[in-house]
Amino acid sequence: MDLVLATANPHKAEEIAEILGSVAGLTLRPRPDGVAEVEETGTSLLENARLKARSLCRATGLPAVADDTGLMVDALDGAPGVFSARYAGESATYADNVAKLLTELAAAGGGGDRRARFSTVALVALPDGTEQWAEGTVAGAIAAEPRGDQGFGYDPVFVPDGAHGRTFAEMSIEEKDACSHRGRAFRALAEVLAHDLADPGAGAAARPVGRAGEQAGAGDEPLR
């Protein structure tokens, strides 16, 4: 099955390909150059992932995969949430978003409570109107300042639980994939896709644990 990637972000595409590329019978395709970005008007990660995947599916006539990610900070009442990618404005850079996050956290008196979580919803839209989706979540805390030069987005300030104080940006891509929200979501989705491709007639009732819509990550072991 050909599966078109909705993201044009090379960092995200690399992380997704690392996981979905191992699914037998699945061939990943880049988003066509002529297909425009979809405006993220949803009020949840699931809605935004669905908007992007369905739009690309309609444009190409092929199954499409999209994801949406949000960083939820306790001291900011769950912000930036669905606005994570554009927290400092529509044209904001990664550094702009990180700077605003640290400023807002300081203004909110978040010096003590820096708990946060990252969540990703990954969704495949099929031409027949059906869909598969999975969610991955990782808990952690916001660092006092950016650290590390790997990854992207909020990686330099997010310290996942079990990582011995390291931010995502201080990890190798393999280490990050093993515990990240995006890694967990796409591994759960890969399991569903692999099952469906191996036995197309099995139907939803026969899918294994970790099927579409199930949150992954709560019981994963910490990094060593």
Q: Which residues are catalytic?
A: 68
Length of the chain: 224
b/e 118-157 (16+ beta carbons within 10 angstroms → b): bbbbbbbbbeeeebbbbbbbbbbbbbeebbeebbebbbbb
Measured distance CA(139)–CA(130) in Å, rounded: 31
What distance separates the 2 farthest-apart alpha carbons in the chain?
Answer: 55
For residue 192, list its beta bridge partners.
none
Q: Side chain identity at 186, as an amino acid letter?
A: F
For 102, list phi and psi in degrees, rounded to 5.
-65, -35
Measured distance CA(177)–CA(201) in Å, rounded: 31
